[in-house]
Structure 1
């Protein structure tokens, strides 16, 4: 459940953007910041949560994240302005970011204590379904919630989910070991590389400002992003415990390629998922429920594909399949018009479901074997 909260929230909002725009009297385009706010928060918070989990224990970090999700659900459910909803999405993004890296670190430590040399494929498969396949379930769930209640349900749904996750964590996850010795605030900041986290956050924020301005590029934002990226690279090469380990990315080619594969594949998947749901509502006049249901096959197929592949710890075959099916499905997108039959839209969704399932399992298994054990939490967060 913890690993599913971030992807579900990332896509849950897709079918609520048009109703939110109407209720708050803003343009549909301006509501896109609700998507980017969560992603920016997650981009910084996921590797940070992994680093914190390595230092203070994954259970502590996970519980803190769930409390933030709870607060974000309340704020968003009661919010009366776009600014309040943005703040809620940031809280939810930061809070849900603790789930995946904490889970991966817990699994890695449990497997090591059990003397396992091979990746625990069955467990990782379940995590892949929770962490990636559920992305495609977000739009239909969001469509049903928005259609039956209102767009506020896209935020309020986090309250029962967070409470359930809190209860299961308290009951099912053993307490972390106490921190080794007392450390000063300066020592903790140095271990966490707070300066590196700040530089990474600044570079990502400036890059997002540049991307959000397209097709009218904000060159100043791009220049700031590149400058901060250069400073960050120089700093991370010198600090003893880097947050964004540039040296490892250069020396560990397989891990770097895994990050790039995941980024390129998910860029295509998310573009289609958000673009298709808004197009179905704005161009074809569908309701939130109808638009969400059109993506339900994607989630179902990705879940069905993930489990059998993960049990065999396959990497190369699933990744080749992901690339091939993404090419086929992207070509199918070019054929869609406002007069296209529903079966063609569903067919494209089904093929993208294969892409989601195979890439999530293949890249996650590759990450498990390629990331160093002492930086596994941070590496998992960077992967997400």
Structure 2
């Protein structure tokens, strides 16, 4: 009688993975409600403060693949600890607030430091599953996505609250306790990295870039988050600058997006039905974009709430579903690297969103600019729908450790 391997993932392992993965989304979104007050402090307009967004995303887009390679070569625990240390240092530097350029540099450091969380978490989970012979850990993947997506949308609310009580430097200072807590959890509960017995193998990136299924997943992620980030940052700026809401009120109006995103992510952990969930996410993008065409400074608040919720549905569905697809498509040896490029695709979309907002709003966010943004996002949703429908691999059955290995690498 063969002994059964215990495939259960200890909660003490999940905690540091979630903690490390949260550092990036919370820093990505808290800045949304701080752009206007930071601009007032340094007499800077939207075109200048946009570098606070672009700086982090550019650093993240470049740093995520590097972090993934380091995870595959040196181990997730070391990379998690180094990344959290960088975030803590950035938190200290951000409280000094010497100039706008200084803050842009702080955001770059935050982008580099927060790169570690996602590829490290994916690598740890994949290695655990391969070691125990378990199936795809859909529950943990959903938990990671729920935590990240919830944090992403709660970020503006948290940022607005911190600014209301302590001023905008607090959105940088909050990284100090968050990073220290993440370091402590990783030190205590993430397994020590094992050094390979022989010489280190050269990393074969063809396993990532020669895989057409992975590349299509990257494209879907990039397009979807172009739309999501455009709303997250553009809508909030319009609420503050044209609608006249305070930072705290604008942040609170994003809560429906957070709640719906969390619920959608929680219901998206199944290993089958990938294409159907992606199509539903596109439909949500179209609904949200259509509603924005009717929005003005005097629009009933309920319309704004419903539009925010529609984009939250798209966010929660697309992130978990694409993440689950990636887990199937990448091998254990390249999971860190593949996950790094996955996040790079997301933040390339974020940088494109920043440029799109600047084009649509110009010097000042207006209702006309918001309508132009909505039309553009509807067009992006149509392209995303086409990309999803032509991908035959999305119609595959349930994901397990066994059938994942049987899938053609370049399909």
TM-score, normalization: structure 1? 0.81
* Paired residues for 1:152-301 under 5 Å: 152-180=169-197, 191=202, 241-242=204-205, 245=206, 248-249=208-209, 251-301=210-260
Q: 2 CA distance for matches of 1:315 and 1:84?
A: 43
Change (3 A) 1:309 1:353: same
Q: CA deviation at 1:258?
A: 0.8
Q: Which runs of 5+ in 2 are unaligned?
A: 1-18, 344-411
Distance in 2, Cα, partners of 1:34 & 1:309: 32
Structure 1, unmatched stretches of 5+, are: 193-240
SS at match of 1:78: coil
User: Judging changes above 3 Å, is the alpha-carbon distance between structure 1 residues 301 and 365 closer, same or farther for their aligned structure 2 residues?
Assistant: same
> What residue number does 1:134 align with?
151
CA contact (8 A) 1:72 1:91 kept: yes
Partner of 1:319: 278
SS in 1 for 2:267: helix
Shift of 1:257: 1.1
Summarize deviations over 1:121-141 as a string: whole Å, max 9, x none.
100001111233321111111
After superposition, give the CA deviation of every residue in 1:321-365 in whole Å (9 maximum; x if it has no partner).
111111111111111111111111110001111101110111011
CA distance in 2, matches of 1:155, 1:290: 20
Residues 62-88 of structure 1 deviation map (CA, whole Å, 9 limit, x = unaligned) = 100000000111111112101111111
Question: Deviation of residue 27 (structure 1)?
Answer: 1.8
Judged with a 3 Å threshold, the aligned counterparts in structure 2 of structure 1 residues 25 and 378 are, in CA distance, closer, same or farther, namely same
Q: Which residue of 2 is the match for residue 109 of structure 1?
A: 127
1:46 equivalent in alignment to 2:64: yes
| Aligned with residue 87 of structure 1, among 105, 109, 119 | 105
CA contact (8 A) 1:314 1:365 kept: no
- In 1, Cα distance between the equivalents of 2:67 and 2:103? 23
Q: How far apart in 1 are the matches of 2:56 and 2:114?
A: 10
Residues in 1 aligned to 2:271 and 2:71: alpha-carbon distance in whole angstroms: 28
The 2-side partners of 1:303 and 1:51 are apart by: 30
C-alpha distance in 2 between matches for 1:262 and 1:327: 16
CA contact (8 A) 1:37 1:89 kept: yes
Deviations 1:121-168 (A, max 9, x none): 100001111233321111111111111111101101100100111111
Distance 1:378 1:248 in 2: 8
Q: 1:313 to 1:114 in 2, by over 3 A?
A: farther
1:149 aligns with 2:166: yes
Contact kept in structure 2, 1:121 and 1:313, CA below 8 Å: no
CA distance in structure 2 between the aligned counterparts of 1:295 and 1:70, rounded to whole angstroms: 27
Q: Match of 2:374?
A: none
2:50 corresponding residue in structure 1? 32
Q: Which residue of 2 aligns with 1:378?
A: 337
The offset of 1:252, in angstroms, is 2.1
Normalization by structure 2: what TM-score?
Answer: 0.76
Tell me, yes or no, if the aligned pair for 1:313 and 1:365 is still in contact at 8 Å.
Answer: no
Mapped contact 1:14–1:139 kept (Cα < 8 A): yes
1:178 partner SS: coil
Pair 366,76 (structure 1): closer, same or farther in 2 beyond 3 Å: same
Aligned partner (choices 299, 302, 305) of residue 340 of structure 1:
299
Partner of 1:215: none
